[in-house]
Structure 1
Amino acid sequence: MKFNLQLSMDSVKVSINGHPISERALRKAEKKAGPVSPGSYWYDQRAGFWGVMGHECSGIIPPFIKEFSYSMPKNCAGTVTDATTGDKLRSLGKLAPTIEKMKRGFGMHVPEEIS
């Protein structure tokens, strides 16, 4: 007997970089990310930046969360440029010392102005 364990977008509450996240994986990821509300998010696994798919960055959580380690779709967050100069951002330096110190994020949620 074969079982189809593939998740569909209809059966999950959270997707990261276009991939559905199972409840079990979400619970495990939330130990590092903090609480994650239902939604479709992009996540930069190297920097920890996150946002609602198709929108700008909404926050930062710890990088390298295994359960969220999917490649980011092209242009999922819009542009990555300096708002003043229009120059492409190359490095943001050291960010979020509180998150680094706590080794935990403050979660992910869809901002009211988007929902």
Structure 2
Amino acid sequence: MIHTTTEARKDLALTTLAAITHADSPDVAAILKAVSSALRETPEQLSCPLADEEIRDEGRAEGRAEGRADALLIVLEQRGVAVPDEARDRITRCGDPEQLRRRLARAVTAASVEDVFVEP
């Protein structure tokens, strides 16, 4: 879990998505404080895509499956994990926010898109 500005600065995209993923967690305040500090210290041309209003709105859309599906695709894209059209459709058609939350958490460390779909 990310709790310091130093940790947040290492990977701003994943830190931003960690805040979305852990929106229900008691630790979300620490994550948000860390990412906020890191973004304030980051040149605007680097932080602007991360502070985009659409991404922030997705983070606020707790309980909305489409917000979590979009966040999951962003995580995979940022990590360079290939997402074929079939997998993209499977992600965006999933209407279960809890299942998408679990998949989003797995996407942060998944080696492939197939790893995201594996239920423990």
TM-score (norm 1): 0.32
Greater helix share, 1 or 2?
A: 2
Higher relative contact order (CA 8 A, sep 6+): 1
Of structures 1 and 2, the larger Rg is shown by 1
TM-score (norm 2): 0.31
Greater strand share, 1 or 2?
A: 1
